[in-house]
Structure 1
Amino acid sequence: MFPLVAGIGFEMELQEQSTPTVSKALGYGISSESKGVFSGSEKFAQSGYEAAGESDHEDTEPRIENPSTQICRDLEKIISSATKSLAASYRFESRCYDAPNPALRLTIGSIGTVGLPLGELAAKQIIENSRRAEFHVGEQPNVNMDARGIWEMDAEFVKFGDSRWESFIMDLATRVCAGLGVQFYARKPKVELYKLWLCETGSSALPRRYTEKVDGMFAAMMVMLPSAFTGGATCLSHAGLSKAVDLSVDSLSSSSVVAWYTDVTHELKPITSGYRLALAYNLIHTTNAPRPSLPLAYSSLPELRHIFLSWRQSGYSGPQKVIYLLENTYPEANTSALRGSDAHLASLLDDVATQLGFHLGLARAVLTLSGWGYCEDYDLEYDGEDYADFVEDADRSTMIKGLVDLDGNHITKEVLIDEEDEKERTIPEGLSEALERGGPDHQRRGYVGHPSLYFLFSTYRPLSLKRAARAPV
């Protein structure tokens, strides 16, 4: 388990190098949207995220008055304040590669067992035995304008032949509640199947506030079953934040989930091809404790947005990169590993950054110390608990390695961090010292001609939130 860092920066020249040492530390990176900078799964520029050109958002965002002149300091202050209240997010999404086949059986008409991934014939049978979905605008149901091409079936006609499905749904609801800041076992929410929804090509739903469907409902959980489709992003908005969740990737071979609190604004972008088959579950409050509600952690949003706008407006007078050490340690390099305040901070930064033309990525930081030391052991590799001491000040280097975007697409192998460079700032100051306090995870001793003189090679593997942003030219 390793510490986490987060970084923000303007311009980082990344070059492909030899394959880095495997490390389980993680992190994030942000780069503003500009010419040559990756968008979606594209790489930052061609060799990493060397930014060029002006931000696409430069013309749409007005210049702000009284901009922040201490980007790093103010960012640290805001993040520190926000993380104290970041116990929850307004949304949750995840791939479910471990989902069993539910052996879906529909008892209406003559449909029977539905094979998965969903085929076109089965999709047409479902449509023939379903009704058009009704969504409400204010107090009035609206079929034609608010929702198009969305078909629904009541839960009473939906059965599951695989007993593992119920256990999977309960485990999934536990994860969803954790993401929403709800203690599942303390609150004991009821997980109730509400509808089966089928979206055909051309389906869409206009933005609307998602209201409770039954008394006590505090969140919706949408489980997508294996079916090939493109488009159909679920757009969720709350407190000035907006996130488009695209679950079409690997939709043919895997299930996925997206969940959100009631009162969040929900929109379905058009399905451009195929069919999207989903099970809608209601999460219902059952105890005498106050009902779970939307988190209050978004009071820092105006200040956070102000800092990002100030950073963009500052051009090259501000820092090019900021690296931020996150709270927890993690065993693997993927976004689903993040937990607690780290996961919610990443979600918050992602939402704000997306609106302002920034992108987030995941990386790890590796600190290497090398120098002279004495040891009686001749082993070149040593992984014990007792480490030899340096006899003089060690040379140190900090690398950001294995940078990927939030979908796990490779961006670059590694980039050197120069902590002496005023354009490369860290939170806290002295990133390498902060990493060193975690202790080494590996030591290599190289014999150089004297029985007790060795070369020491120690690595410190943090989880790093690496955030690179580009200022307008």
Structure 2
Amino acid sequence: MSNSGNSDDGSNNSESDDGGVDQEGFKKDLFDRIFEVHSTGSFATFGIIDSFVHPGISVDPIGTVRLPLSEEDAHTLVQASHKAPFGKGTETVVDESVRKTWEIDAGKIHFLNKAWQSCLDRTVEHVAGELGVADGAINVRAEFYKMLLYGKGAMFKAHKDTEKVPGMFGTLIICLPSKHTGGAVCLQHGEKSARFNTSENSAFDTAFIAWYTDVTHEIEPVQTGYRWVLTYNLINESKDPYRSASALDARTGHFAQALTRWQNLEDVPQYLAYPLDHQYTDRDLRLARLKGDDYPRARHVAQSCAVHGEFYILLANMSMHITDPNDENEEPEESELLLSHIVDLEGFTLSIYDSLKISDTLLLQGISYSDREPDVQRGGNYMGNQYAEIDQFFKDSVMIIVPSRFIMSFLLGRHYRHKALDQFMG
């Protein structure tokens, strides 16, 4: 049960420090120093496999499939396929108004050409570099998941991929030679977007597209022909959290100086949180699994804290819980910002409480919830003479910076359970 007395705003109201810089100015400066660190990669990548190797695809029970894909072989593949489902809440459903395509499970597909694995490995190495994954050639592998066949009118509306196996951080698709039009992949992450079209020269070219799991993407309807795809889960097997995606050491001293300024504030915040670009499951919340710019930024802050010696860096999942009474006669909506699953950089759980209500003043930059869809929404159904209240949950992940003198009070925060958050986190 939530109790307003169990909140932890972690800071006092302070207008200025000894140097005349107020806390808001300091928080903006600290945010800017973290934000200016970037990886060499993007949230998604696309290209043509120049040195493509014929995989020698055999499908049970129909046998070898020719490349480029013929109309006859396409019909045979359909006979060996089933309609592709998708996740809807806790259920897996088939609804062709949302997803219309055919799929064949990995267990029925065999690659007869041994050279195919080397071709795939080269593609994965390239993709990992494009996505900015630290030491991707060493740590990243592709696990075959499904074969998909998109005929005329086939599509998949906007969605995000689920992390199907431990270490999965992204999806790789190989679009095999099969003449088609339409079927472009549209991707959106925050304010960034991309549209990749595999139809050009599709009869003979083999294209790849890869993206992070929390990137929203949509497959536009196929207009003619067949879009033929191999789908792989991208898995990061790194166990070394200190591999770097870019050279960050030059900025370390400057950030350590900013941490010293933090100590000299008149009223020192007990901790501050930086919202990460990507969302992470509890299982994958650790430095080695961070994606895109999140990895070099966290790595940079960790290095700076180590150089300074009096600060810790932690990771946590955070949810904004908004309750709308859904009744014009009641007070307007209420909101709570809650931290859960606080871990060190190796993913080891540190906190003894299940959730902690915090003030949004502890975020280095505020998060807007008005222009995004909730990750989970419950309620709103008609009950008797009124509609039930609506609970909305918006999930984010954050990096938390804590002065060493406050670390124990932070980790030993008041213990309470928040019923709605427990339901959301499962």
- When the two structures are superposed, what TM-score results if normalisation uses the length of structure 1? 0.44
Higher relative strand content = 1
Structure scoring higher RCO (CA < 8 A, sep ≥ 6) equals 1
Higher relative helix content = 2
